[in-house]
Amino acid sequence: ENKQQLEVAAELHEKAGQYQKALKLFLQVGEKALDKAIDLVGSVRNDVLTHTLVDYLMGEHDRVPKDPNYIFRLYMALGNFKQAARTAVIIARQEQEMGNYKVAHKMLFDTYKDLDSQNIPVPRELEDALLLLHSYVLVKSLVKQGDHATGARMLCRVANSISKFPAHVVPILTSTVIEYQR
């Protein structure tokens, strides 16, 4: 268990059924081993291990919260799809505020597909956020195809919620007016 082989030691402890020790070692490795820690907690489904990992991800140990995508993946691994959907909406909202609309769309769409494949009802909040981002993403291809009427309707939907697109307010409103003129 010397410093250079913590990850290997963690994997061996996991195989031996020493899950608490394995998780501790995975967390000592850091972000490089977080996926393995999430897989471990997801397969064992132990409340103590879950809380230990959540505390780590929230930054309880080092005052540095980790990427929210890890929390999302943890909820998915645990089968807590309702909480995973909420987390996906929060992550997508953050990406959207930074102008990363395709990243936000992909996050929501992948979550939607996961929930749908498990026959789990998709929360309304996730559906609404996906509809809005999907409308934004589709506009470019619709306009290229010459379908200006549908593009204008999609842009109108986006313009009605312009506050959710803070990075591109002027271009969106301008495009909306232009498409309605066509």
Q: What whole-number distance in Å separates Cα of residue 91 and Cα of residue 110?
A: 13
What torsion do the CA atoms of 26, 32, 35, 39 make, to the nearest 10 degrees? Answer: -20
Residue 171 backbone phi and psi in degrees, to 5: -60, -40
The more confidently predicted of residues 3 and 133 is: 133
pLDDT band at 172 (very low <50, low <70, confident <90, very high): very high
Query: Which pLDDT score, from 0 to 100, does residue 2 have?
Result: 61
The total of other beta-carbon atoms located within 10 Å of residue 48's CB is 12
Q: What whole-number distance in Å separates Cα of residue 167 and Cα of residue 51?
A: 36
* Average pLDDT, rounded, for the chain: 92
Kindly state the average pLDDT of the residues 153-172. 93
Query: Which pLDDT score, from 0 to 100, does residue 46 have?
Result: 93
Kindly state the average pLDDT of the residues 43-65. 91
Q: How many helices (H) and strands (E) does the chain have?
A: 10, 0
Residue 16 backbone phi and psi in degrees, to 5: -80, -5
pTM for the predicted model, two decimal places: 0.80
Kindly state the average pLDDT of the residues 75-82. 91
Query: Which pLDDT score, from 0 to 100, does residue 3 have?
Result: 59
